[in-house]
Structure 1
């Protein structure tokens, strides 16, 4: 998928973005839209399924326990609608998002407060109401839920393709199947790949699970951990009972241990419901498939048996992706502490896809040194222990 659409008199890009997952592709899209001469580099031939951004669907929602995410998601929705218009493709299906947990849960109270603060349409639903409206769920009397009315399904593969298509249409260069081997800092940064050398005034590293391997030679040892996530699809006992057409919502069920279960109605695979654990074993991203995941399957099977009895108790389809987690599950969006023209967008902790339009805009603003649209203090590198060695 290597493309070249413009030339440069001085041979120096305004920006190079490393990693063509959703965050890197969104960043490149915003840069090209602002007339920045931009190169987007991806190590694998596109499309691929080795990282974090592949697959047909993701959940989108404004329901967050941290209200700064709810605020940012308002912009993310609007930019997603704009991308739909530009690319002429449907990226979103509204289903509502059900955020489930104990009635006395601080998390649910915070989710409700965030939605109220930002004027988002929502309602609180008791366990009895939930059973009546969403009979596919079996929940105990001490449970309740917040229904985020604007939650829904993102067409993930189409969204990445739309970002990349529009990036090229706005004049960007995309090179795939070209691993980055080194980044040499300076006023002009040199990026060495398996196929050549490129010069740029700014680099944005959005390499997902491979971010640490690129950052460590730059003296930056971030506390990132890669986790293998099983993406599992469970067959409906009665066809259509958990379908979008019957108004079954996307959902997140906050558990005490180990984290949460999430799911999407039967849609991408007819008759199969996506139900997954928001957790998994730590891995080396280059050895993703060499790890035991039996306990993950067992955990989700127990959940399905107890809470979604209308599904078969054995998954019909099992796929894989990777989360890159930070200790506090908030992502990293910041400049390198020594070289201000090296930007890092990493550690999205399994929650970054829906907010990618905002991430791309924020990185673009950092590179162009324009007034930031968002408070990025939550995502600074210095919230962790000192990490730079150079």
Structure 2
């Protein structure tokens, strides 16, 4: 049955970015509708799963600055809902000591006075057991980092949004968007009108943008999320304060390898390669490439002697990445009341609260809390062209 109702804002996509955007809008007393194509909860996008890394260790100041506030907003949500969403474990960063990326991360942490411990090579094994530091690698720990309980966080922010009067309609796939001073969103369940629209649809972003004459250079990749069995239970356990880790300048592959201490599956540590193979988000199960798993197996065998070098569990997730691997936070170039948040996957979950605040500000035409020039659509456009 078709239903027409006026909203202050419609948000399409109930992943972490869309849910926090809707939450921020509702906190400003805006009448907000959050639309989701799948029945919630679901595991078809990029925000599912029990854990994510939260960290300030970045190679760009803008991300470290944004994470300062994001930590505060996560703590605020925990307090509001009386739910534990974060566990501090620290983040071990390993990489070629003279390498460009390791030095950038180290310098960014130190420049921004993030509590950091530099681990001298001769003391590494004493502080980090059961890990072989590669020849020539340096190591440091971002002390403030840890684990976010992702599924719980998503459920919590959606619940708080609804408590503030926000409405979630799931199982409603968007089939058309008609721009204008009032935007009309047509779904499988009805038509909805709003003064502004925020699109946070992850892998389906370009599918929706096609309705409003825009395409972004987004690549959708399927990631194999791998869990590796501890030879001795507890060796890499979150309760024993084993840290999360990131390996940059990896000898086995050109992308990062990252891991989280055993938590969601007892005795299994989550270790993944920070890239996958291009896929169609609606047919991702057809993508069976395991080259990332082979890279991980070689890395595990070399650097994590306490893990079985064959994954015990393989799940999947999707990344949506831009050519420069930075976010898109911007208004539509032709329709200022349509706001786009995209390109988060792989490192966006931890930013959920601050991204929600920024997308809310954009949709309400408020002055932005941060300089968003780094995240504008125009960076993809050739100077001689007026459109993508």
TM-score band, normalised by the shorter chain?
over 0.9
Q: Distance in 1 between matches of 2:183 and 2:205?
A: 17
Aligned 1:310-349 pairs, distance under 5 A: 310-349=306-345
What is aligned with 1:48?
42
> Does the Cα contact within 8 Å between 1:228 and 1:320 map onto a contact in 2?
yes
Aligned 1:177-196 pairs, distance under 5 A: 177-196=171-190
Aligned 1:87-102 pairs, distance under 5 A: 87-102=81-96
2:365 equivalent to 1:369: yes
Q: In structure 2, the residue corresponding to 1:320 is in which secondary structure?
A: strand
What is aligned with 1:3?
none
Q: Distance in 2 between matches of 1:288 and 1:26?
A: 26
Q: Say how many residue pairs are matched.
A: 381
Provide Cα deviations, 1:93-128, integer angstroms capped at 9, x if missing partner: 000001110010121221122112222100222333
Once the 2 structures are TM-superposed, how far is the Cα of residue 389 of structure 1 from its aligned partner?
5.8
Provide Cα deviations, 1:12-41, integer angstroms capped at 9, x if missing partner: 111000000000001000000110100000
Q: Distance in 2 between matches of 1:67 and 1:106?
A: 15
Q: Distance in 1 between matches of 2:278 and 2:78?
A: 36
> Does the Cα contact within 8 Å between 1:221 and 1:388 map onto a contact in 2?
no
2:228 equivalent to 1:234: yes
List structure 1 runs of 4+ shifted beyond 4 angstroms. Answer: 386-390
Once the 2 structures are TM-superposed, how far is the Cα of residue 388 of structure 1 from its aligned partner?
7.2
Q: Distance in 1 between matches of 2:369 and 2:194?
A: 25
- Compare 380-389 and 315-324 and name the one that shifted more: 380-389
What is aligned with 1:286?
282
Q: Distance in 2 between matches of 1:78 and 1:190?
A: 35
Q: Distance in 2 between matches of 1:129 and 1:286?
A: 48
Once the 2 structures are TM-superposed, how far is the Cα of residue 129 of structure 1 from its aligned partner?
2.3
Q: Over aligned residue pairs, what C-alpha RMSD do you find?
A: 1.4
Q: Distance in 2 between matches of 1:50 and 1:306?
A: 33
> Does the Cα contact within 8 Å between 1:181 and 1:194 map onto a contact in 2?
yes
* 1:274 aligns with one of 270, 273, 276: 270
- Compare 295-304 and 192-201 and name the one that shifted more: 295-304
What is aligned with 1:197?
191
Once the 2 structures are TM-superposed, how far is the Cα of residue 264 of structure 1 from its aligned partner?
0.3
- Compare 244-253 and 351-360 and name the one that shifted more: 244-253
Aligned 1:6-17 pairs, distance under 5 A: 11-17=5-11
> Does the Cα contact within 8 Å between 1:220 and 1:388 map onto a contact in 2?
no
Q: Which runs of 5+ in 1 are unaligned?
A: 1-9
2:345 equivalent to 1:357: no
Q: Distance in 2 between matches of 1:292 and 1:345?
A: 29
CA separation of 1:290 and 1:388: change in aligned 2, threshold 3 A: farther
Q: Which runs of 5+ in 2 are unaligned?
A: none
> Does the Cα contact within 8 Å between 1:219 and 1:389 map onto a contact in 2?
no
Q: Distance in 2 between matches of 1:11 and 1:178?
A: 15
What is aligned with 1:6?
none
Q: Distance in 2 between matches of 1:218 and 1:357?
A: 27
Q: In structure 2, the residue corresponding to 1:289 is in which secondary structure?
A: helix
Provide Cα deviations, 1:50-74, integer angstroms capped at 9, x if missing partner: 0000000000000000011000000
